[in-house]
Chains A and B, each alone.
Chain A
């Protein structure tokens, strides 16, 4: 399976960009990378996903390296409501199993 590795915590100032890294060095060619976030006591919220090209939506941008061994989630203008735990995940290619790591706890400071 494609194991992901993320830093346990990060912080950034409100209004600045938050760049959250993820390593997925064992990812295979047809495995997507997904990003989710979870605010306390709620279910994870989908943010963005991608395969090999960079992606952008109304919430964030996803930059995937050319070798696909790592990616970065970018929140372009972080707000206090972006304080959450962010998960980078990549499904197994054969059995559709999703594996979540411990995620990155992002603290946005006023």
Chain B
């Protein structure tokens, strides 16, 4: 069964902390994505990666960075967490062109 797994479902962090959100997919997909979702704003793309060590900025990359050292793993990093980064974060992956996109269950991050 295909799966995108996000390491943490719920996190509470303090302002200024460095936060790592991990995502692993078991489908050998080339493309991986990080979104955040906020009420009334829909899903907004933070970063995506189309290959190992490759990344591109999405619509709201400020305050975030990513790492893709292995094909199956895509990490989102908040260098210095701020309260406006409180949100639900969604990881997704997709294979070759036209293939289905699979989402993880989401990580709810609260920054206090």
Interface size class of B (residues with CB under 8 A): 20 to 34
Query: Nearest B residue to A101 by beta-carbon distance?
Result: B42
Chain A residues within 8 Å of B104, by CB? 43
- Out of B45, B105, B106, name the residue touching A99 (CB < 8 Å): B45
| A43 contacts B90, C-beta separation under 8 Å | yes
- Out of B31, B50, B90, name the residue touching A44 (CB < 8 Å): B90
Stretch at the interface among A64-72, A76-84, A90-98: A90-98
| B100 contacts A49, C-beta separation under 8 Å | yes
| B58 contacts A43, C-beta separation under 8 Å | no
Chain A residues within 8 Å of B4, by CB? 43
Query: Nearest A residue to B48 by beta-carbon distance?
Result: A97
Chain B residues within 8 Å of A44, by CB? 43, 90, 92, 103
| B48 contacts A96, C-beta separation under 8 Å | yes
B26 to chain A, nearest CB (A): 16
A85 to chain B, nearest CB (A): 9
| A46 contacts B100, C-beta separation under 8 Å | yes
Complex Cα distance, B106 from A97, in Å, reads 19
Query: Nearest A residue to B105 by beta-carbon distance?
Result: A43
Q: List 26 A-B contacts (CB under 8 A).
A: A30-B97, A36-B103, A41-B88, A41-B108, A43-B90, A43-B106, A44-B92, A45-B103, A46-B103, A49-B100, A51-B98, A87-B42, A95-B50, A95-B56, A96-B48, A96-B94, A96-B97, A97-B45, A98-B48, A98-B101, A99-B59, A100-B44, A100-B45, A102-B40, A102-B42, A103-B42
4 other contacts beyond A51-B98, A97-B56, with CB at 8 A cut-off?
A43-B104, A45-B103, A46-B101, A98-B33
